[in-house]
Amino acid sequence: MKLIERDGEVEIAGIGDFDPAATFGCGQCFRWEAEPDGSGAYVGVAMGRVARVRREGGSLFVSGTAADCQNVWRGYFDLDRDYAQIRRQVGIDGFMREAAEYGAGIRILRQDKWEALCSFIVSQRNNIPRIKKIIAELCKLFGDAIEFRGGEFHHTTENPDNQKNPEITGNPEIAEKDNTTTFYTFPAASTLAGLREHDLAPLRCGYRAAYIIGAAQAVADGAIDLDALAGGNADDARAALKRLRGVGDKVADCVLLFGLHMLDAFPRDVWINRAIAERYGKGFDPSVFAPYAGVAQQYIYHYVRNST
DNA sequence: GTCCAGGGTCCCA
DNA sequence: TGGGACCCTGGA
Protein backbone atom coordinates (compact mmCIF):
# COMPACT_ATOMS: atom_id res chain seq x y z
CA MET A 1 0.00 0.00 0.00
CA LYS A 2 1.50 3.29 -1.16
CA LEU A 3 0.90 6.17 1.25
CA ILE A 4 1.72 9.77 0.47
CA GLU A 5 1.19 12.21 3.35
CA ARG A 6 0.70 15.90 2.63
CA ASP A 7 -1.44 18.84 3.74
CA GLY A 8 -3.06 16.98 6.58
CA GLU A 9 -4.26 14.08 4.50
CA VAL A 10 -2.91 10.83 3.14
CA GLU A 11 -3.19 9.64 -0.42
CA ILE A 12 -3.61 5.92 -0.92
CA ALA A 13 -2.83 5.24 -4.55
CA GLY A 14 -4.25 2.36 -6.58
CA ILE A 15 -7.26 1.94 -4.33
CA GLY A 16 -9.34 -0.21 -6.72
CA ASP A 17 -12.89 -0.97 -5.54
CA PHE A 18 -13.78 1.88 -3.20
CA ASP A 19 -16.71 4.17 -3.83
CA PRO A 20 -17.33 6.27 -0.70
CA ALA A 21 -20.94 7.00 -1.65
CA ALA A 22 -21.73 3.32 -2.15
CA THR A 23 -19.78 2.11 0.86
CA PHE A 24 -21.23 4.65 3.27
CA GLY A 25 -24.67 4.68 1.68
CA CYS A 26 -25.38 0.98 1.47
CA GLY A 27 -26.85 0.78 4.95
CA GLN A 28 -23.99 -0.88 6.78
CA CYS A 29 -23.06 2.22 8.82
CA PHE A 30 -24.91 5.27 10.10
CA ARG A 31 -22.26 7.81 11.03
CA TRP A 32 -20.80 8.97 7.69
CA GLU A 33 -22.30 11.93 5.87
CA ALA A 34 -21.55 13.54 2.51
CA GLU A 35 -20.01 16.98 2.78
CA PRO A 36 -22.67 19.56 1.91
CA ASP A 37 -20.31 21.28 -0.55
CA GLY A 38 -20.98 18.58 -3.13
CA SER A 39 -17.30 17.64 -3.27
CA GLY A 40 -18.10 13.96 -2.91
CA ALA A 41 -16.14 13.82 0.33
CA TYR A 42 -17.55 12.08 3.39
CA VAL A 43 -16.94 12.89 7.02
CA GLY A 44 -17.59 10.41 9.76
CA VAL A 45 -16.74 9.19 13.20
CA ALA A 46 -15.35 5.71 13.63
CA MET A 47 -13.06 3.97 16.06
CA GLY A 48 -13.16 7.06 18.28
CA ARG A 49 -11.84 9.32 15.52
CA VAL A 50 -13.16 11.74 12.94
CA ALA A 51 -12.03 11.45 9.36
CA ARG A 52 -12.72 13.05 6.02
CA VAL A 53 -12.55 10.68 3.08
CA ARG A 54 -12.67 11.36 -0.64
CA ARG A 55 -11.83 9.59 -3.84
CA GLU A 56 -10.07 11.23 -6.74
CA GLY A 57 -9.17 9.13 -9.73
CA GLY A 58 -7.51 5.95 -8.59
CA SER A 59 -6.61 7.32 -5.19
CA LEU A 60 -8.32 7.52 -1.84
CA PHE A 61 -7.58 10.54 0.34
CA VAL A 62 -8.04 10.25 4.09
CA SER A 63 -7.49 13.08 6.55
CA GLY A 64 -4.84 12.55 9.21
CA THR A 65 -1.44 10.94 9.21
CA ALA A 66 0.10 7.96 7.47
CA ALA A 67 0.30 6.29 10.87
CA ASP A 68 -3.48 6.70 11.31
CA CYS A 69 -3.93 5.11 7.92
CA GLN A 70 -1.78 2.14 8.73
CA ASN A 71 -3.09 1.62 12.24
CA VAL A 72 -6.76 2.49 11.89
CA TRP A 73 -8.15 3.09 8.41
CA ARG A 74 -6.39 0.27 6.61
CA GLY A 75 -8.26 -2.18 8.79
CA TYR A 76 -11.49 -0.20 9.04
CA PHE A 77 -11.83 0.11 5.27
CA ASP A 78 -10.67 -3.48 4.75
CA LEU A 79 -8.08 -2.19 2.30
CA ASP A 80 -6.14 -5.43 2.00
CA ARG A 81 -9.02 -7.33 0.46
CA ASP A 82 -9.61 -7.65 -3.29
CA TYR A 83 -13.27 -6.78 -3.79
CA ALA A 84 -13.05 -7.01 -7.57
CA GLN A 85 -12.26 -10.68 -7.13
CA ILE A 86 -15.26 -11.07 -4.79
CA ARG A 87 -17.51 -9.41 -7.38
CA ARG A 88 -16.46 -11.94 -9.97
CA GLN A 89 -17.01 -14.75 -7.51
CA VAL A 90 -20.57 -13.81 -6.49
CA GLY A 91 -21.64 -12.97 -10.06
CA ILE A 92 -23.33 -16.32 -10.44
CA ASP A 93 -25.96 -15.16 -12.94
CA GLY A 94 -27.08 -12.12 -14.89
CA PHE A 95 -28.88 -10.50 -11.98
CA MET A 96 -25.95 -10.89 -9.62
CA ARG A 97 -23.47 -9.63 -12.20
CA GLU A 98 -25.63 -6.53 -12.65
CA ALA A 99 -25.98 -6.03 -8.90
CA ALA A 100 -22.26 -6.48 -8.31
CA GLU A 101 -21.40 -4.13 -11.14
CA TYR A 102 -23.86 -1.56 -9.80
CA GLY A 103 -22.38 -1.86 -6.32
CA ALA A 104 -18.73 -1.99 -7.39
CA GLY A 105 -16.92 0.08 -4.81
CA ILE A 106 -18.84 -1.20 -1.81
CA ARG A 107 -16.53 -2.46 0.89
CA ILE A 108 -17.54 -4.07 4.17
CA LEU A 109 -16.22 -1.86 6.95
CA ARG A 110 -14.63 -3.30 10.07
CA GLN A 111 -16.79 -1.38 12.47
CA ASP A 112 -16.57 -1.42 16.20
CA LYS A 113 -18.41 -4.51 17.41
CA TRP A 114 -20.43 -2.85 20.12
CA GLU A 115 -21.35 0.03 17.84
CA ALA A 116 -22.63 -2.41 15.24
CA LEU A 117 -24.64 -4.35 17.80
CA CYS A 118 -26.21 -1.23 19.26
CA SER A 119 -26.85 0.35 15.85
CA PHE A 120 -28.62 -2.65 14.43
CA ILE A 121 -30.75 -3.03 17.54
CA VAL A 122 -31.86 0.52 16.78
CA SER A 123 -32.45 -0.41 13.13
CA GLN A 124 -35.27 -2.85 13.75
CA ARG A 125 -38.63 -1.81 12.29
CA ASN A 126 -37.10 1.56 11.56
CA ASN A 127 -35.95 3.52 8.51
CA ILE A 128 -32.42 4.64 7.78
CA PRO A 129 -32.87 8.42 8.22
CA ARG A 130 -34.40 7.87 11.63
CA ILE A 131 -31.78 5.28 12.59
CA LYS A 132 -29.12 7.89 11.84
CA LYS A 133 -30.96 10.52 13.83
CA ILE A 134 -31.33 8.29 16.88
CA ILE A 135 -27.67 7.22 16.80
CA ALA A 136 -26.50 10.81 16.35
CA GLU A 137 -28.48 11.84 19.39
CA LEU A 138 -27.20 8.86 21.38
CA CYS A 139 -23.63 9.89 20.60
CA LYS A 140 -24.27 13.53 21.37
CA LEU A 141 -25.74 12.76 24.74
CA PHE A 142 -23.37 10.04 25.89
CA GLY A 143 -20.28 10.07 23.67
CA ASP A 144 -17.11 12.12 24.01
CA ALA A 145 -16.76 15.34 22.06
CA ILE A 146 -14.12 15.63 19.34
CA GLU A 147 -13.26 18.99 17.83
CA PHE A 148 -12.48 18.49 14.16
CA ARG A 149 -10.78 20.96 11.87
CA GLY A 150 -9.30 19.79 8.57
CA GLY A 151 -7.10 16.85 9.30
CA GLU A 152 -6.51 17.58 12.94
CA PHE A 153 -8.70 16.52 15.78
CA HIS A 154 -8.52 17.07 19.49
CA HIS A 155 -10.10 14.58 21.79
CA THR A 156 -11.79 15.98 24.86
CA THR A 157 -13.11 13.74 27.59
CA GLU A 158 -15.61 16.35 28.74
CA ASN A 159 -18.75 16.38 26.64
CA PRO A 160 -20.51 19.67 27.37
CA ASP A 161 -23.79 18.25 26.15
CA ASN A 162 -23.70 15.12 28.24
CA GLN A 163 -26.91 15.07 30.23
CA LYS A 164 -26.77 18.81 30.64
CA ASN A 165 -28.43 19.96 27.47
CA PRO A 166 -30.81 17.35 26.14
CA GLU A 167 -32.67 19.90 24.00
CA ILE A 168 -32.26 19.18 20.32
CA THR A 169 -31.25 22.28 18.40
CA GLY A 170 -30.57 22.01 14.71
CA ASN A 171 -28.35 19.14 13.71
CA PRO A 172 -28.01 17.08 16.87
CA GLU A 173 -24.51 15.90 16.06
CA ILE A 174 -22.78 18.89 14.63
CA ALA A 175 -22.26 22.33 16.11
CA GLU A 176 -20.09 24.76 14.22
CA LYS A 177 -17.93 27.25 16.03
CA ASP A 178 -14.63 28.92 15.28
CA ASN A 179 -14.32 27.04 12.01
CA THR A 180 -14.22 23.73 13.86
CA THR A 181 -16.96 21.16 14.09
CA THR A 182 -17.80 19.11 17.14
CA PHE A 183 -18.35 15.40 16.65
CA TYR A 184 -19.11 12.74 19.22
CA THR A 185 -17.72 9.27 19.65
CA PHE A 186 -20.01 6.30 19.95
CA PRO A 187 -20.66 5.80 23.66
CA ALA A 188 -19.05 2.80 25.33
CA ALA A 189 -21.26 -0.06 26.45
CA SER A 190 -20.14 0.58 30.01
CA THR A 191 -21.49 4.14 29.76
CA LEU A 192 -24.93 3.04 28.60
CA ALA A 193 -25.03 0.09 30.98
CA GLY A 194 -25.63 2.41 33.91
CA LEU A 195 -28.59 4.20 32.36
CA ARG A 196 -32.31 3.76 32.86
CA GLU A 197 -34.81 3.68 30.04
CA HIS A 198 -35.98 7.22 30.73
CA ASP A 199 -32.41 8.45 30.22
CA LEU A 200 -32.82 7.44 26.56
CA ALA A 201 -36.18 9.20 26.20
CA PRO A 202 -34.63 12.09 24.18
CA LEU A 203 -33.71 9.56 21.47
CA ARG A 204 -37.40 8.83 20.83
CA CYS A 205 -36.39 5.29 19.98
CA GLY A 206 -39.42 3.70 21.58
CA TYR A 207 -39.28 0.13 22.80
CA ARG A 208 -35.68 -0.17 21.60
CA ALA A 209 -34.40 1.77 24.62
CA ALA A 210 -34.70 -1.26 26.88
CA TYR A 211 -32.94 -3.43 24.30
CA ILE A 212 -30.03 -0.97 24.04
CA ILE A 213 -29.50 -0.87 27.78
CA GLY A 214 -29.84 -4.61 28.13
CA ALA A 215 -27.26 -5.23 25.43
CA ALA A 216 -24.95 -2.60 26.94
CA GLN A 217 -25.12 -4.32 30.30
CA ALA A 218 -24.42 -7.72 28.76
CA VAL A 219 -21.36 -6.36 26.96
CA ALA A 220 -20.14 -4.32 29.91
CA ASP A 221 -20.40 -7.11 32.47
CA GLY A 222 -18.95 -9.73 30.17
CA ALA A 223 -22.10 -11.82 29.76
CA ILE A 224 -21.34 -11.57 26.06
CA ASP A 225 -17.78 -11.18 24.77
CA LEU A 226 -17.90 -9.72 21.28
CA ASP A 227 -14.15 -9.99 20.74
CA ALA A 228 -14.21 -13.66 21.61
CA LEU A 229 -17.20 -14.25 19.32
CA ALA A 230 -15.29 -12.67 16.45
CA GLY A 231 -12.62 -15.33 16.83
CA GLY A 232 -15.07 -18.22 16.87
CA ASN A 233 -17.52 -19.63 14.38
CA ALA A 234 -20.56 -17.83 13.02
CA ASP A 235 -23.21 -20.19 14.37
CA ASP A 236 -21.97 -19.85 17.93
CA ALA A 237 -21.76 -16.08 17.60
CA ARG A 238 -25.27 -15.86 16.15
CA ALA A 239 -26.68 -17.99 18.96
CA ALA A 240 -24.94 -15.90 21.62
CA LEU A 241 -26.19 -12.66 20.11
CA LYS A 242 -29.76 -13.93 19.86
CA ARG A 243 -29.84 -14.50 23.60
CA LEU A 244 -29.95 -10.71 23.92
CA ARG A 245 -33.45 -9.26 24.03
CA GLY A 246 -34.17 -7.36 20.85
CA VAL A 247 -31.73 -9.38 18.76
CA GLY A 248 -33.31 -11.80 16.32
CA ASP A 249 -32.00 -13.42 13.13
CA LYS A 250 -31.71 -10.22 11.12
CA VAL A 251 -29.94 -8.09 13.73
CA ALA A 252 -27.67 -10.97 14.71
CA ASP A 253 -26.60 -11.49 11.11
CA CYS A 254 -25.97 -7.77 10.69
CA VAL A 255 -23.71 -7.87 13.74
CA LEU A 256 -21.87 -10.87 12.31
CA LEU A 257 -21.35 -9.16 8.98
CA PHE A 258 -20.77 -5.54 9.96
CA GLY A 259 -19.40 -5.90 13.50
CA LEU A 260 -17.56 -9.23 13.55
CA HIS A 261 -16.59 -8.97 9.87
CA MET A 262 -17.86 -12.47 9.10
CA LEU A 263 -18.30 -11.94 5.39
CA ASP A 264 -20.40 -15.04 4.83
CA ALA A 265 -23.28 -13.85 7.04
CA PHE A 266 -26.42 -13.09 5.02
CA PRO A 267 -28.87 -10.76 6.80
CA ARG A 268 -32.39 -11.06 5.44
CA ASP A 269 -34.47 -7.93 5.67
CA VAL A 270 -37.64 -6.93 3.84
CA TRP A 271 -35.70 -5.79 0.76
CA ILE A 272 -33.55 -8.90 0.51
CA ASN A 273 -36.53 -11.16 1.07
CA ARG A 274 -38.46 -9.42 -1.70
CA ALA A 275 -35.53 -9.61 -4.10
CA ILE A 276 -34.81 -13.23 -3.30
CA ALA A 277 -38.46 -14.23 -3.63
CA GLU A 278 -38.66 -12.55 -7.03
CA ARG A 279 -35.43 -13.93 -8.43
CA TYR A 280 -34.78 -17.24 -6.76
CA GLY A 281 -37.87 -18.37 -4.87
CA LYS A 282 -38.33 -19.29 -1.26
CA GLY A 283 -35.86 -22.12 -0.92
CA PHE A 284 -32.88 -19.98 -1.85
CA ASP A 285 -29.63 -20.92 -0.10
CA PRO A 286 -27.09 -18.07 0.18
CA SER A 287 -24.26 -20.57 0.46
CA VAL A 288 -24.04 -20.30 -3.34
CA PHE A 289 -22.11 -17.10 -2.57
CA ALA A 290 -19.80 -18.67 0.01
CA PRO A 291 -17.59 -17.48 1.55
CA TYR A 292 -18.82 -13.98 0.62
CA ALA A 293 -22.60 -14.21 1.00
CA GLY A 294 -22.54 -11.03 3.07
CA VAL A 295 -20.85 -9.06 0.33
CA ALA A 296 -23.35 -10.46 -2.16
CA GLN A 297 -26.12 -9.39 0.20
CA GLN A 298 -24.82 -5.82 0.14
CA TYR A 299 -24.70 -5.79 -3.65
CA ILE A 300 -28.30 -7.01 -3.79
CA TYR A 301 -29.53 -4.63 -1.12
CA HIS A 302 -27.87 -1.61 -2.68
CA TYR A 303 -29.04 -2.57 -6.17
CA VAL A 304 -32.70 -3.22 -5.43
CA ARG A 305 -33.01 -0.13 -3.26
CA ASN A 306 -31.25 2.34 -5.50
CA SER A 307 -31.45 1.24 -9.11
CA THR A 308 -34.48 2.24 -11.22
C1' DG B 1 -57.59 13.33 9.88
C1' DT B 2 -56.24 7.99 8.89
C1' DC B 3 -53.32 4.52 7.03
C1' DC B 4 -49.03 2.47 6.10
C1' DA B 5 -44.23 1.10 6.07
C1' DG B 6 -39.69 1.28 7.82
C1' DG B 7 -32.49 -2.93 7.05
C1' DG B 8 -37.74 -6.90 13.20
C1' DT B 9 -38.56 -9.06 17.52
C1' DC B 10 -41.38 -10.88 21.03
C1' DC B 11 -45.14 -13.38 22.69
C1' DC B 12 -48.76 -16.50 22.48
C1' DA B 13 -51.59 -19.96 20.66
C1' DT C 1 -45.17 -22.02 12.46
C1' DG C 2 -48.16 -18.01 12.05
C1' DG C 3 -50.29 -13.74 13.42
C1' DG C 4 -50.69 -9.56 16.15
C1' DA C 5 -48.61 -5.88 18.93
C1' DC C 6 -45.15 -2.72 19.35
C1' DC C 7 -42.53 3.08 19.94
C1' DC C 8 -42.12 6.44 16.68
C1' DT C 9 -41.86 9.17 12.35
C1' DG C 10 -42.76 10.73 7.73
C1' DG C 11 -45.19 10.36 3.53
C1' DA C 12 -49.41 9.25 0.90
* Per-residue model confidence (pLDDT) at position A282: 78
Q: CA A14 → CA A39, A57, A60, A61, A64, distances in Å? A: 20, 9, 8, 11, 19
**Which nucleotide has the least CA–C1' distance to A294?**
B7
In this prediction the pTM is: 0.93
pLDDT, one tens digit per residue, over A221-255 is 999 999 999 999 999 999 999 999 999 999 999 99
**Which nucleotide has the least CA–C1' distance to A266?**
B7
How many secondary structure helices (H) and strands (E) does chain A include? 14, 10
* Per-residue model confidence (pLDDT) at position A38: 87
Q: What is the mean pLDDT of residues A16-33?
A: 97
**A45 Cβ contact partners less than 8 Å away, ≥ 6 residues apart:** A31, A139, A146, A183, A184, A185, A186
Residues 40-69 of chain A sitting with CB below 7 angstroms of strand C: none
**Rounded distance, CA A152 to CA A139, Å?**
20
A125 touches strand C (CB under 7 A): yes
A129 touches strand C (CB under 7 A): yes
pLDDT, one tens digit per residue, over A160-201 is 556 534 333 334 344 555 678 999 999 999 999 999 999 999
**A201 Cβ contact partners less than 8 Å away, ≥ 6 residues apart:** A209
Strand B contacting residues by CB (7 Å): A 26-28, 123-128, 130-131, 242, 244-252, 254, 267, 269-272, 297-298, 301
A155 touches strand C (CB under 7 A): no
* Per-residue model confidence (pLDDT) at position A153: 52
Measure, in angstroms, how far nucleotide C4 C1' is from residue A273 CA.
Answer: 21
Judged against a pLDDT cut of 50, whether residue A151 lies above it is answered with no
Q: Which residue is nearest to nucleotide C7 (CA to C1')?
A: A206
Judged against a pLDDT cut of 80, whether residue A210 lies above it is answered with yes
Task: Provide the pairing of β-strand A49-56 with A180-184.
Answer: unpaired
Q: In chain C, which nucleotides are within 7 Å of a protein Cβ?
A: 6-10
A204 touches strand C (CB under 7 A): yes
**A164 Cβ contact partners less than 8 Å away, ≥ 6 residues apart:** none
Burial A108-123 (b: 16+ CB within 10 A, else e): bbbbbbbbbbbbbbbb
pLDDT, one tens digit per residue, over A266-300 is 999 999 999 999 999 878 999 999 999 999 999 99
**Which nucleotide has the least CA–C1' distance to A206?**
C7
* Per-residue model confidence (pLDDT) at position A150: 64
For chain A, what percentages of helix, strand and coil (3-state, to nearest 5) are there?
45, 15, 40
**Which nucleotide has the least CA–C1' distance to A250?**
B8
* Per-residue model confidence (pLDDT) at position A166: 38
Judged against a pLDDT cut of 60, whether residue A152 lies above it is answered with no
Measure, in angstroms, how far nucleotide B5 C1' is from residue A201 CA.
Answer: 23
Mean pLDDT (chain A, rounded): 92
A132 touches strand C (CB under 7 A): no
User: Left if phi > 0, otherwise alpha if psi is -120 to 50, otherwise beta: which for A187?
Assistant: beta
